[in-house]
Amino acid sequence: MLPILEIKDLKKHYAAKTGLFGRMSNTVKALDGISLAIEKGKTFAIVGESGSGKTTLGKTMLRLIEPTSGSIIFNGQDIMALGTESMRKLKTDMQIVFQDPFGSLDPRWTVRRTLEEPLRTHYSYSAETITKKVDEILEVVGLTPQHALRYPYELSGGQRQRVGIARALILEPQFVVFDEPVSALDVSIQAQVLTLLQDLQSRLSLTYLFISHDLSVVRYISDHVGVMYLGKMMETGPSEQLFSNPLHPYTEALISAIPQPDPDKRRERIVLSGEVPSPRNAPSGCVFHTRCPKAMPQCSSIQPEWLQVSENRYIACHLYNN
Ligand code: SF4
């Protein structure tokens, strides 16, 4: 199947001041050569520790952050070539839901006003049509017209996240980025929201990019997974294969840390030494070499290439160089 969205060699580099009085400058590679493809109707999850570039990737794919270079192909169209007006129209097809629903909702607005706003911005619907669309989307996300009268502080965390999802879906997008959508919620509410997302995906044929640091959640919801570290993609592959047979030493370490109730399925925990280095001072060669239990002499000086190791699996690691 052709991908609905494909990115190739996507980079976002910043110049950062360093040293005493900020006299020296350094290049921060927030994203450094990311390539991936997402099939229509599927969920591609991005995992990695804090500072890996997951959120920057999600925002850059929607051009909420302008990339330094690379291409973003959506439905066969290079969106990097689009002007402001074409991009504004396309944004109805590409939406984002943020982690903190309280922070992303205007506290002075009722739920109805929050949901009406995107419709008023992008279309010239009649007041009657807008009311109907708001009532419909509330029902789709499991809320009632009574919720439309409330302000964010009058809602529970789960209800606020449902409003965040409704606000993204009211424009009938094809592709939605979810940036840690359940990590601020209690575990029982997390399960309800994840079930809702799966239900909406099959009902509305949606395609998701799902960003999370929680591998248990990713395992539950994803079809395909990409593992990021310090702005680079370490490994991508179908979820089932990646979780049952992780290839990259970083993926192996992350997966070994997932709590496993079945003692027969428990892996030996791989504890990584040290902290994630600062993106302002990323290691040379393989960016993971300072923490990799399998590092070899060449890893500190030579950057591994992005290699295809089987039909759907890609990896950046010298262990797989023939
Ligand atoms: Fe480890 Fe070397 Fe592979 Fe990097 S390239 S993950 S340091 S073995």
Q: Whose CA is nearest to atom 6 of ligand 1?
A: 317
Confidence tier at 318 by pLDDT (50, 70, 90): very high
Say what the pLDDT of residue 25 is: 72
- Report the separation in Å between the CA atom of 298 and the middle of ligand 1, taken as the mean of its atom positions: 9
Q: Which atom of ligand 1 is nearest to the CA of 293?
A: 1
Nearest by Cα to 316 from 240, 241, 237:
237
Return d(Cα 72, Cα 8) in angstroms, integer.
7
Q: Which atom of ligand 1 is nearest to the CA of 292?
A: 1
Look at residue 143 and give its three-state secondary structure. coil
Average pLDDT over residues 41-51: 94
Average pLDDT over residues 304-320: 95
**pLDDT(21) > 70:** no
Q: Give percent of the chain above pLDDT 70.
A: 96
Look-up: residue for tokens 């592709």? 175
246 in ligand 1 pocket by Cβ < 6 Å? no
318 in ligand 1 pocket by Cβ < 6 Å? yes
User: Residue 140 half-sphere exposure, CB side, CA atoms within 13 Å?
Assistant: 23
- Report the separation in Å between the CA atom of 269 and the middle of ligand 1, taken as the mean of its atom positions: 18
- Report the separation in Å between the CA atom of 248 and the middle of ligand 1, taken as the mean of its atom positions: 8
Q: What is the pLDDT of residues 69-96, one digit of tens each?
A: 999 999 999 999 999 889 888 989 999 9
Q: Dig out the tokens for 60 from the structure.
A: 């850059």
Contact present, 1 and 252 (Cβ < 8 Å): no
101 in ligand 1 pocket by Cβ < 6 Å? no
Contact present, 31 and 11 (Cβ < 8 Å): yes
**pLDDT(17) > 80:** no
Classify residue 208 as left (phi > 0), alpha (psi -120 to 50) or beta. Answer: beta
Average pLDDT over residues 221-234: 97
Confidence tier at 183 by pLDDT (50, 70, 90): confident
Contact present, 8 and 37 (Cβ < 8 Å): no
- Report the separation in Å between the CA atom of 251 and the middle of ligand 1, taken as the mean of its atom positions: 11
Look at residue 305 and give its three-state secondary structure. coil
Contact present, 223 and 278 (Cβ < 8 Å): no
149 in ligand 1 pocket by Cβ < 6 Å? no
Average pLDDT, the chain: 92
Return d(Cα 157, Cα 246) in angstroms, integer.
34
Q: At CB < 8 A and 24+ separation, what contacts does 117-121 make?
A: 117/167, 118/167, 118/170, 118/171, 119/170, 119/171
**pLDDT(19) > 70:** no
Nearest by Cα to 177 from 82, 49, 91:
91
**pLDDT(321) > 70:** yes
- Based on the structure, what is the number of domains in the chain? 1
Average pLDDT over residues 93-106: 85
Q: Whose CA is nearest to atom 1 of ligand 1?
A: 295
**Backbone CA torsion sign across 238, 140, 59, 160:** negative
- Report the separation in Å between the CA atom of 246 and the middle of ligand 1, taken as the mean of its atom positions: 14
pTM: 0.93
Task: Identify which of 299, 307, 320, 321 to mutate to test ligand 1's pocket (most ligand atoms within 8 A of the CB).
Answer: 299
- Which of 55-59, 131-135, 180-184, 262-266 is the least confident region? 262-266
CA 4: distance to chain centroid? 16
**pLDDT(134) > 90:** yes
- Report the separation in Å between the CA atom of 283 and the middle of ligand 1, taken as the mean of its atom positions: 12
Structural domain span for residue 63 = 3-17+25-320
CATH code for the domain in which residue 144 is found: 3.40.50.300
Confidence tier at 308 by pLDDT (50, 70, 90): very high
93-112 as b/e, with b when 16 or more CB fall inside 10 Å?
A: bbbbbbbbbeebbeeeebbb
- Report the separation in Å between the CA atom of 192 and the middle of ligand 1, taken as the mean of its atom positions: 38
The 10 Å Cβ neighbour count of residue 43 is 23
Say what the pLDDT of residue 62 is: 95
Return d(Cα 126, Cα 136) in angstroms, integer.
15
302 in ligand 1 pocket by Cβ < 6 Å? no
287 in ligand 1 pocket by Cβ < 6 Å? no
317 in ligand 1 pocket by Cβ < 6 Å? yes
Task: Identify which of 318, 320, 321 to mutate to test ligand 1's pocket (most ligand atoms within 8 A of the CB).
Answer: 318
Contact present, 86 and 131 (Cβ < 8 Å): no
Say what the pLDDT of residue 272 is: 87
Where are any strands of DSSP class E within 183-301?
A: 207-212, 224-229, 232-238
